[in-house]
Structure 1
C-alpha cells in the first residue's frame, strides 16, 4: 500500500496523464484531418486548425514545466556560484545530496563509538558513487550558462575525499595488519584521536557542499535533513533513564532460619 501511494504522489501519474492527453489530442487531430481529406469542408478546416493550435500550446506548456529553469545563487567554500538548474540537474543534485546525507560524510561519529574502518569504507563508497556517473557520462551535460553540479562534485572528490582517503586508508590498514593492531584493535591505535579529529574537520567542510547540492535540488531547508528532527530530539529527551536492577542481596547467615539441632540420643556411644 505504501508503494502504491508513493507512486500516486510521484511523477509517474503526471507523466502518464500527459502521455494519454497527447495521445487523445493526436487522435482527434488525425480523425479531423482524415475527415477534411474526404469532405474538404471549410468548417472542419477551422476546427482542425484550432485543435492543432491548442496542441502546440499545451505541448509547449508541458515542456516548459518539465524543463523549467531555476537560477540558484550560492556561496560555497567562499566562492560565489550561480546555477541555472533544469529538471535533470535538480534530480542529479537531489540524488547526490541524499547519498551524502545518509553516510558518515555528514553523520557524527562520537569519540567512544563507531568503527573507523566502516567510516573509511563509507567515504570510499561515496567517492565511487560520485565518480561513476561522471566517468560513465550518465550525468546531465553542463549547462551553457552558469555553474554546474559537476564542479561541486569534482571539488568534493579531488580536494576533500581523495586526500583524506589516501592518507588514512593505508595508515589504518598498516595498524590492522600489525601484531599490536590484531591484539588491541582500533581502540589501541595511537592515531585514533587524530583520525577522528580530521574526520570532524572533513565533515564540517563537506557540509557546505552537501547543503549547496540540496539547494540546487530545490529542497526548502537542506540543513534540516542533516540534523535530528525536533520529534526525535523530544522523544530522546523524554525517554526515561534505563533502570538498572542489581542482583538480589544474599541473606545474611543470621537472617536465615536454622532448624534446631536434634539432641544426641542417649544410646549413642
Structure 2
C-alpha cells in the first residue's frame, strides 16, 4: 500500500509556467521530465554557462570547450531514439532546450569558436591574453550568461528545485572579504545549549 502511494506521488503531474524571453511555456511535469530537467540544470549550473569568468581569469579555449560540451550534452537527448515523446498537453523540456541551443549557444559558438581558432593558428606562440578580441569575447560571454539565466532557472523550476536561482549567484560567503583581500570564512553558528 505504501509503495503504491509513493509511486502515485512520483508520477503526479505538476504544472510549471515559465515566462521566457519572447515566449511563455507551460509544462505538465512528470518524473521523467523532472529528472531530465534536473540533469540539464546541474550541467549548466556547474559550467561557465552560468558561472562568472572575471576579467583576466580563466582560459578562453576551455570556456568555449565547456560551452560546446554543454551544447552536445543538450543536443544528444533530442536526437536519441530513447527520448520520450512530447507530452500530450503543455510544452516539453526538450522544446526549452531546443531554444537554448538554437537561440543562445549555437550563435555564440558560431561567432567565437572560429575567431579564437583563427588567432590561435595565426599566433601559436602567443597567449590568448594577447588576442585583440579578448575583452569583446568576455563581454559577449557575460551577455550569453545573462540570456541563459532564465532558461537555466526554468530548468531548475521544472526539476522541482526549491530556489534554483540561488545556485546561480555567489553567496555572501564568497563575496565577504577582509581589508587585505582575503575572503572571510563565514562558518555557520551553532547554538550552544543553555
Q: What TM-score results when the alignment is normalised by the length of structure 1?
A: 0.63
- Where do 1:149-228 residues align within 5 Å? 149-178=93-122, 181-228=123-170
CA drift at 1:224:
0.4
Partner Cα separation in structure 2 for residue 71 and residue 210 of structure 1: 17
The match for 1:14 is none
The CA distance in 1 between the partners of 2:70 and 2:25, in whole Å, is: 23
**1:128 aligned partner:** 72
- Map of 2:24 onto structure 1: 80
**1:89: which partner in 2?**
33
CA RMSD of aligned residues (A): 1.8
Residue in 2 that maps onto 1:148: 92
**Separation (CA, whole Å) in 2 of partners of 1:90 and 1:197:** 33
Q: How far, CA to CA, are the matches of 2:54 and 2:11 in structure 1? A: 43
Offset, 1:232: 3.3
Deviation at residue 205 of structure 1 after TM alignment:
0.3
- Gaps of at least 5 residues in structure 2 are 183-194
Which consecutive residues of structure 1, in runs of 5 or more, have no partner in the other structure? 1-54, 243-269
| Match in the other structure for 2:190 | none
Note the C-alpha offset of 1:137.
Answer: 3.0
Between structure 1 and structure 2, the one with the greater Rg is 1
Structure 2 CA distance for partners of 1:132 and 1:189, relative to 1, 3 Å: same
Aligned partners of 1:215, 1:170: CA distance in 2, in Å? 35
| Deviation digits for residues 171-208 of structure 1 (CA, Å, limit 9, x no counterpart) | 11111011xx2233211111111111111111110011
Counterpart Cα distance in 2 of 1:144 and 1:156: 22
TM-score of the pair, normalised by structure 2: 0.86
Give the number of aligned pairs: 182
Cα distance, 1:238 vs structure 2: 4.1
Question: What's the offset of the Cα at 1:94?
Answer: 0.6
**What is the rounded CA distance, in whole Å, between the counterparts of 1:129 and 1:239 in structure 2?**
42
The answer (yes or no) to whether the contact 1:92–1:139 under 8 Å persists in 2 is: no
SS of the counterpart of 2:91? coil
